Amino acid sequence: MTETQGPLDTVPEQNYPPLITRNNYWAIKELINQVVSEDQEYVSWKLKDVRTGGTMNAYLNDFLNGVNENIGTSAQQPEDLHNLMRQNKKARMSRVQKKSTLINSVPRNIRFPREIHDEQIAGLPQPKILDQSEQLNLLLTNLDEEQMNRFEVFRRTSLAKNNIKKISSLITNQTVAANINLLLAGVGKIFIGEIVEKAQEVKKRKLVALMASIFREKKMAANRLKKSLKKLTSMVDENDETLEDSVDEDEWDVIDDDDDEVSSKYSESFNKIVRSGVNSEENRLGIIRHYNRLVKTFNALDVSVEKYTNGPLLPEHIREAWRLYRTENDTVPQATWRTQGEGNGWMFR
């Protein structure tokens, strides 16, 4: 097999029969399954991180372990264990006998992970209350290089005073004092920071969606690779025994409605040549060409999106962030001042 960039190698169109063996099929199939499994773990981790944003299972597990330890220490003797079981039985019977039980009521003894976390934090020694300057010094001493750069950029960035003065004059239809303009500049800076932060979240979610789409294409390419290689192995191998595994080379690939014309034609050509029962040299070369194309596609698809995290924000990220901000806070600017003066109404669209 010829060399190529990636975990899989292409098959030459000349002198290929010695390379197409059953052992080679099992080895390549195992390699494909291993690559897909690793990508599946990465995709699951990224999707869980985006959907949940982290969990508090650690605090809940510590609490449950403490409860189990207390039960174990208090019920070491058989008599204590018998009394505990009898008390639990009486409690269950009393709950069953209650006639007026509200279905939607919350039990009084329920414990949430957040409450357990707050109790543990409250039990820790309380630190000394620091003033604003001490808090700032403590913050700066614990920032890494990247966080320090972002902090310095945020501190040095400011909105143009002329634009703030112009916007405030248009809104109020009168001259605004310099102190008020300075206050508006500070509030606007915080507002822009919130929009940028939300745009970063939108960018992260779009990258995760791109990752899921790439992983879907990679799984489809992996399935076609195994089917084409199994079909080619069955045609080249002179052994009468069939390859018994979960791969069905005669299965018809489903063509999605959103596929373009080129992809649809390629899928139809692939299905036709793989399902063909004619063992000819022309069909073998056709399967090899399809296999080599799939190998290049499989090697080129990378589900990792870490390389895009430091990329710039796009206008579509800002627009989506502003839409989410309006939806979450219900603070849509009124059209009465959006189009005043030289404004054309496109600022917040």
202-235 pLDDT tens trace: 998 899 999 999 999 999 889 988 888 888 888 8
> Which amino acid is located at 238 in the chain?
E
> Rg of the chain over CA atoms, in angstroms?
32
DSSP 280-299: -HHHHHHHHHHHHHHHHHHH
pTM: 0.64
3-state SS assignment for residue 223: helix
CA dist 7 → 36, 66, 72, 114, 169 (Å): 11, 48, 53, 46, 64
Mean of the pLDDT values across residues 234-244?
A: 73
Q: Is the pLDDT of residue 72 over 60?
A: no
Question: Would you state the pLDDT for residue 273?
Answer: 81
Looking at 142-177, list the stretches that DSSP marks H as alpha helix, in order from N- to C-terminal side: 145-156, 161-172
Q: What percent of the chain has pLDDT over 90?
A: 11
Take residue 212 and report the two structure tokens written for it.
Answer: 């899921």
> Which amino acid is located at 120 in the chain?
Q
Q: Is the pLDDT of residue 347 over 50?
A: no
Confidence of residue 244 (pLDDT cuts 50, 70, 90): confident
Q: Is the pLDDT of residue 8 over 70?
A: yes
Please tell me which residue, 129 or 94, carries the higher pLDDT value.
129
Q: Is 6 left (phi over 0), alpha (psi -120 to 50) or beta?
A: left
Q: Report DSSP state, residue 332.
A: P
Which among 246, 235, 242, 294 has a CA at the least distance from the CA of 267?
294
**Residue ranges covered by each domain of the chain:** 18-54+139-238+250-343
Q: Report DSSP state, residue 73.
A: H
Looking at 173-260, list the stretches that DSSP marks H as alpha helix, in order from N- to C-terminal side: 178-236
> Which amino acid is located at 8 in the chain?
L
Q: What percent of the chain has pLDDT over 70?
A: 72
Question: Would you state the pLDDT for residue 68?
Answer: 59
**pLDDT, mean over the chain:** 78
Mean of the pLDDT values across residues 94-110?
A: 59
Confidence of residue 38 (pLDDT cuts 50, 70, 90): very high
Question: Would you state the pLDDT for residue 232?
Answer: 86
CB 255 within 8 A of CB 234: no
Question: Would you state the pLDDT for residue 52?
Answer: 61
Question: Would you state the pLDDT for residue 69?
Answer: 58
Q: Which listed CATH number (3.40.50.20, 3.40.50.720, 3.60.40.10, 1.10.20.10) goes with 18-54+139-238+250-343?
A: 1.10.20.10
